[in-house]
Chains A and B, each alone.
Chain A
Amino acid sequence: MKVISFLLFFLQSTAFASDLELALNWKPEPEFGGFYLANLKGLDAKKGIQLKIVPGGAGQPVAQMLANGKVPLGIVSADEVLMARDRGADLVAIFAVYQTSPVGLMTHEEKGFKSLEDFFKSDSTLAIQKGMPAAVFMERKYGYGKVKVVPYQGGVGGFIRDKNFAQQCFVTSEPLLAKKQGAKPKTFLVSESGFDPYVEVVAAKGEFVRKNPKLIQDLVEIFQAGWAAYQEDFEETNKVMNGLNPAMTLEVFNESAKVQKPFVQPVGSKIGTMKLERWQKFADQLFEMKLISKKAKAQEAFVSKF
């Protein structure tokens, strides 16, 4: 009998202490710094939540994993949320890391491109994830012309080897790596061309969000506190993330955390918050680009009360 009651107690206690998984769509890098800090400093535990951050990699289908209930929380981009909703999956965004999208194209300075328009008139090789909304946007706006589009593999190896090579990037990450390896990168933000979705968005299933308003409120507060602290002091967290992702040096980690500061919190904005006008704008853009089949009601795709 004692054994059974012990087992029951054990099962109950493990159920209570169960981890809340947050699936990343990439390896540990400063773009996830605030989440790691919140976890390291126990900001989650203070609210009785045990976050478990699960690193991802290239091609990780986080949106589908969320939709299928494989993870409760995941990092996606706003356009992925809208596409998933269009396909019938009820995903809702609760927190946005970047207020301005750091997605851009990285070219070699020696090529002397002055704008994206200029670049798309060249005969460069461009490594980009085909089908990605930012890529579709640029193709529609500028046309690929003589630019040779090749699959995006991640990393900067191809860029370093070939002066005629350009690639998609987070301006907060790859250009720093390329510089370290002796290249002179020049970047162009896609947001400046008019496509600026929230990137690095924490999303969950709509049902989960609606059933757990207190938990969601707590999570957003944890993330806000974590990111505010990371903006102030990132070094200790970067050391831990660097241990998990040694492919990037600690120096690049720290530089990247510095460079991303204005993307996380532009002057006068509140960390993590999202605005309806912006959501509606890129929902309409996705519809125009035929990436979603019907006009989306953007207010249903994110939690706006924070």
Chain B
Amino acid sequence: MKNLRFLPLIPLILGLALLQFLVNRQAIPSYLFPAPYQVWEVLMTDGQIWAALRDTSLNACLGFLLTLVAGACLGTGLASSRWIEKMFYPYAVFFQTVPIIAIAPLLVIWFGYGQPTVIASTFIVSVFPMIAATLDGIRSTDQNLLDLFRLYRATRLQRLLKLQLPFALPSILTGARIASGLAVIGAIVGEFVGGGGLGGIVDESLAQQRVDRVFAAVTLAAGLGWVFFAVLNGLSRVLLRNWHASQRG
């Protein structure tokens, strides 16, 4: 069964080979869609693009950490009482629905050019799944266990730390996985207006009609999202392996 891990590579390799073939045969003009080899060449020779990846990674990480902490805290806060949830949850939904592209230029006015804008954009795009997942996780705590804690006169804090949060952990980790992909998208959008990073490279390369470089930057951005996802998957496995059904077998 171990060999199945490599199955996803088959469509990738076939897809790239087909694309290279079509571009070589000039069935697709390379100014509209670059050949995989052109993108590979850019990745091998363009130092700027790797420096940009470093910047984007840093900013996406910082924004994502902010999302993890703030999202988990806000989700827990909302779960603490129905009143608070009713009062503030609609505003949390606002973050989910806000069209980031439309407000991105305003972020520059509020936070200035560069890193602060990129981190803010990352946070806005990625925080909602984290809040919603934390809230749902805590809300779905087994009623019998809650009754048991009450029977033993556990304090509110004890109930939260020893029952509700552990119970919510799988849900919180799922939220974090969704947020991680969004964080990279948020960082790139932030860089379109704030400057720098892979977003800056895409912007610059479009102005020079360098689709190969655009695709190289997009490939790295997608790779970054994949790394985020893989790290969180690993973390889930470590945190949940001893007790949760999702990580058994």
B204/A130 in contact, CB under 8 A: yes
Other-chain contact of B200, A87, A89, A130 (Cβ < 8 Å)? A130
Interface residues of A in 65-93 (CB under 8 A from B): 67-68, 80, 83-84, 87-89
Sorted from nearest, which 7 A-B pairs have the closest CB atoms?
A: A131-B204, A87-B31, A131-B207, A130-B204, A150-B113, A131-B208, A151-B195
Other-chain contact of A151, B29, B194, B205, B209 (Cβ < 8 Å)? B194
A84/B113 in contact, CB under 8 A: no
Q: Does A63 contact B (CB under 8 A)?
A: yes
Residues of the B chain whose Cβ atoms lie less than 8 Å from the Cβ of A83: 208-209
Q: Which residue of A lies closest to B105 (CB)?
A: A153
Interface residues of A in 131-176 (CB under 8 A from B): 131-133, 148-151, 153, 157-158, 161
- The contact size tier of chain A is 20 to 34
Q: Does A59 contact B (CB under 8 A)?
A: yes
Q: Does B203 contact A (CB under 8 A)?
A: yes
Other-chain contact of B207, A84, A89, A130, A158 (Cβ < 8 Å)? A130
**A158 vs B113: C-alpha distance when bound (angstroms):** 11
Q: Does A124 contact B (CB under 8 A)?
A: no
Q: Does A39 contact B (CB under 8 A)?
A: no
- Main SS of the interface on chain B? helix
If A130-B204, A151-B195 touch, whether A87 touches B30 (CB-CB below 8 Å) is yes
Residues of the B chain whose Cβ atoms lie less than 8 Å from the Cβ of A133: 208
**A161 vs B30: C-alpha distance when bound (angstroms):** 42
Other-chain contact of B31, A89, A131, A132, A153 (Cβ < 8 Å)? A89
Q: Mark B20-59, 1 if CB is under 8 A from A, else 0.
A: 0000000001111000000000000000000000000000
**A61 vs B206: C-alpha distance when bound (angstroms):** 8
Residues of the B chain whose Cβ atoms lie less than 8 Å from the Cβ of A63: 209
- Whole-angstrom distance between the Cβ of A237 and the nearest chain B Cβ: 30
Residues of the B chain whose Cβ atoms lie less than 8 Å from the Cβ of A122: none
* 18 sampled A-B residue pairs with Cβ under 8 A: A59-B206, A64-B209, A68-B32, A80-B209, A87-B30, A88-B29, A89-B29, A130-B200, A130-B203, A130-B207, A131-B205, A131-B206, A148-B113, A149-B195, A150-B195, A151-B192, A151-B200, A153-B193
Q: Looking at B31, B108, B193, B206, which has the most chain A CB atoms within 10 Å of its CB? A: B31
B208/A67 in contact, CB under 8 A: no
Q: Mark B183-215, 1 if CB is under 8 A from A, else 0.
A: 000000000111100001001111111010000
- The contact size tier of chain B is 20 to 34
- Whole-angstrom distance between the Cβ of B100 and the nearest chain A Cβ: 15
**A126 vs B108: C-alpha distance when bound (angstroms):** 14
Contacts between chains A and B (CB distance < 8 A), count:
60
Interface residues of A (CB under 8 A from B): 59, 61, 63-64, 67-68, 80, 83-84, 87-89, 125, 129-133, 148-151, 153, 157-158, 161, 291
Q: Which residue of B lies closest to A132 (CB)?
A: B207
Residues of the B chain whose Cβ atoms lie less than 8 Å from the Cβ of A129: 203, 207
Q: Which residue of B lies closest to A290 (CB)?
A: B208
Residues of the B chain whose Cβ atoms lie less than 8 Å from the Cβ of A68: 29, 32
Q: Which residue of B lies closest to A63 (CB)?
A: B209
Residues of the A chain whose Cβ atoms lie less than 8 Å from the Cβ of B206: 59, 61, 131
Q: Looking at B29, B113, B204, B207, which has the most chain A CB atoms within 10 Å of its CB? A: B207
Residues of the A chain whose Cβ atoms lie less than 8 Å from the Cβ of B194: 150-151
Other-chain contact of B209, A59, A87, A125, A150 (Cβ < 8 Å)? A87
Q: Which residue of A lies closest to B209 (CB)?
A: A83
A291/B208 in contact, CB under 8 A: yes
Residues of the B chain whose Cβ atoms lie less than 8 Å from the Cβ of A132: 207
Q: Looking at B113, B192, B194, B209, which has the most chain A CB atoms within 10 Å of its CB? A: B209
Residues of the B chain whose Cβ atoms lie less than 8 Å from the Cβ of A89: 29, 31
Residues of the A chain whose Cβ atoms lie less than 8 Å from the Cβ of B209: 63-64, 80, 83-84, 87
Q: Which residue of B lies closest to A79 (CB)?
A: B208
**A267 vs B32: C-alpha distance when bound (angstroms):** 41
**A132 vs B206: C-alpha distance when bound (angstroms):** 9
